[in-house]
Structure 1
Amino acid sequence: MRAQVKGAVAPARRRTQAERTALSDTRMFDAAIKLISEHGTERTTLKEIGELAGYSRGLAHSRFGSKEGFLGQLFTRFDGRWKAHINDHVGDKSGIEAVLAALRAVREFLIAEPSYMRAMYILWYESLGHDSKIRNKLADHHRIYREDAARWVQLGIEQGEIDPVINAEQFSVQFNGFIFGIIYQWLVNAEALDLPAIFDDYESTIKRLLSKKD
């Protein structure tokens, strides 16, 4: 039996195949975010994604089958991160508290994950010019966002916190209109916007608008 040398460093554990696959996927998604942010989706190729990630030019294609398949997985990955982020903020809140929590979640994500947000919204906006799985998924997500906001407001009305004259469905459209409108302006010229001031002012507007009047 061979004695262990005192002070010797134990050999590093070899990654499993699943771990290696997860790592390569993460690196390729990160590379895609960088490329899409700089060049858009049309000028970003699977070959470039694989090479920038440090792998063979054919890995992304062999792993995902097509560019549309890769972008679909990128959408799913972002969607998972966004849902976890907003759930951490909103949780089981309702009424004005839930609306403000969702607004703060958007602001924090814009500030903390600018490259990710930029790439994903470029991907979404560029999908609008043709029928695609991503466009259909985006339409479904917008419906969910509106339903969530309307539900928060309706619960606030039922709980006596929000003014019953408020139309929950119409507010949800306007609320999402603010969010996506700000993000669009931010994509065009981020330096022109003072995001903290804009979001703080809108929070005050929401409180005044929704609060039940005496």
Structure 2
Amino acid sequence: MSEALHRHTIVKPSKAGWTAILAQRPELAEQPIIESWARAGNPLVVRRRSCGDLAGMIPLGLSLPPVYGKQRIAVALASSEIIERAPPPLLADAAATAPSAWHGTIDRLLRLLPQTRTFGSLAWQHLTGLPYLSDGSDLDLLWPLSSARETNALLSAIAEIARHAPMRLDGEIVGAAGGVQWRELIAADANDVLVKGPVAVQTISRTAFLSGAVP
């Protein structure tokens, strides 16, 4: 399996992978939620590489539900210890998990772009069945970059939906260089934007990002 996995990719470790994780982080074995997580086959997510990660390892993480302190746990595995990988869930697939007050906004987002994907609290609750969502949760979304003209139209439509949404719409437009927060792209003074790639956060021009350039 290639190690070039994008941020937000959903992965499942093998049994040997979980053994390796607990060997890396023995304190995790003391948390019953981690044992339950592994036993249930719940996934991990690819995160951005940090300076402490070993070369050749895939940086991964999981976020625990708020009832467990909303911990964010960082681990890393060799590619041989990952048995499944998948893109973040489609918003359409996760929609039934969302609070009923969100459904109208989600319907509008799906009519705008059916390929919209989700991460964060909605994705974790959809994937695990554990309670992540609260009245104050954001809706975290990923939209694919297309042409600059189509993306500018998409951004305007997202902003209009966000103005009437009962929750905060957060998320990124994702291109070859990585992801950029949609609100940053739509800002009037956005000449340069921060691109979150698999290894680092880099600044490139808005025009270059929308053209599909890689820093």
- TM-score interval, normalised by the smaller of the two chains: under 0.3
TM (norm. structure 1) is 0.26
Pair member with larger Rg: 1
Structure with larger RCO (C-alpha < 8 A, sep 6+): 1
Higher strand fraction (1 or 2): 2
